[in-house]
Amino acid sequence: MTILCRVSDLQLCWPGACRWNHECITIHTEKCYQIRGVNGVGKSTWVQAALGLLPSAKSVQWTRPVVDGVAKKPDFFFPLTVDRDVSMCLIEVIEQEYVLREGCSPKGRNVQHWLESLGLWDVRSVSWCRLSSGQRQLGRLVPLLYTRSAVWWLDEPWVHLDDKRKICMQELMAQHLCHGGAAVVISHDSFCNNVETMTLVRRSM
């Protein structure tokens, strides 16, 4: 197994910000890591700090893997937070995110395939703000179908999803792991047998 990323003793460089007690986490190919912890401990904050969205100490190192001859992007994937009041229709939000991530417009039939595979094709013309929470969550996960990023960082990805879609997304993740990827998932529930768990505990300041 190749090492994709190593996170050790992550700390936020911000006055009064939370700190955590945890072991170092080394992310290998074909592995899934679950981050657990009580509500409010700062799981999402930890992930955001690890991804460089928040000012953190330099304790995250990325490697550039080539897995099974497939050139993996050495960076990470995480779903964007789309404002729930956005009035663009679903298909426009999906296309816009593709342009942002890939730098070019998606092919129409690809978008149709992605939306059909997640059962969203029928609501493609519905405004984002009118979609149900589950549909919005699925919409945010659509980029998983085309991203080539090696490590997926997912913050409570199964929340609001029905059982069928949950299984569908878990199969997608299993496929990603089989192809030499890795996933770091914040979740309170057990979702997979072969998963390494890391529990965050808030450190006293």
Partner 1 sequence: MTGLLCYRLRWHRGMAHWVSGCLLLLLVSFVATLLLQPVAGLGLRQRLGLLMVIILLVQQITIWQWVSPAYLQWLHEASCVSGCSDWLWLVDLVAFWVMWAVAILGVLPMLTLFYEFTWWHGLWVYGVWCVVSPLLFVQLFLLRLLGLWMRSDLALVWVMLVPWVVPTLMMVLRLFERMLDGVGQWSDWSLLLGLQMILMFIFCHLLSGAVAKCYHHLRLQ
For partner 1, the binding residues in 154-183 under the rule CB under 8 A are none
Q: Which of 3, 11, 41, 54 binds partner 1 (CB under 8 A)?
A: 54
Which of these, 43, 50, 53, lies nearest to 159 by C-alpha position? 43
Which of these, 72, 73, 121, lies nearest to 94 by C-alpha position? 121
Q: Which of 6, 11, 30, 92 binds partner 1 (CB under 8 A)?
A: 92
**23 contributes a contact to partner 1 by CB under 8 A:** no
Shortest spacing between CB 54 and partner 1, in angstroms: 6
**100 contributes a contact to partner 1 by CB under 8 A:** yes
Cβ proximity to partner 1: between 155 and 161 the closer is 155
Distance of CA 169 to the CA centre of its chain: 12
Question: What one-character DSSP code corresponds to residue 106?
Answer: P
Q: Which of 8, 61, 63, 105 binds partner 1 (CB under 8 A)?
A: 105
Distance of CA 82 to the CA centre of its chain: 14
Q: Which stretch binds partner 1 (CB under 8 A): 76-84, 112-120, 132-140, 195-203?
A: 76-84
**48 contributes a contact to partner 1 by CB under 8 A:** yes
**81 contributes a contact to partner 1 by CB under 8 A:** yes
**126 contributes a contact to partner 1 by CB under 8 A:** no
Cβ neighbours for 116, distance < 8 A, ≥ 6 positions apart: none
Question: Which residues are paired to 195 by β-bridges?
Answer: 32
Shortest spacing between CB 50 and partner 1, in angstroms: 12
Q: Provide φ and ψ at 51, rounded to 5°.
A: -85, -5
Cβ proximity to partner 1: between 12 and 183 the closer is 12
Question: What one-character DSSP code corresponds to residue 56?
Answer: B
Rounded Cα distance between 87 and 84, Å, is 8
Rounded Cα distance between 35 and 200, Å, is 7
- Return residues touching partner 1 (CB under 8 A): 12, 14, 16-17, 45, 48, 51-55, 78, 80-88, 92, 95-96, 99-101, 103-105, 127
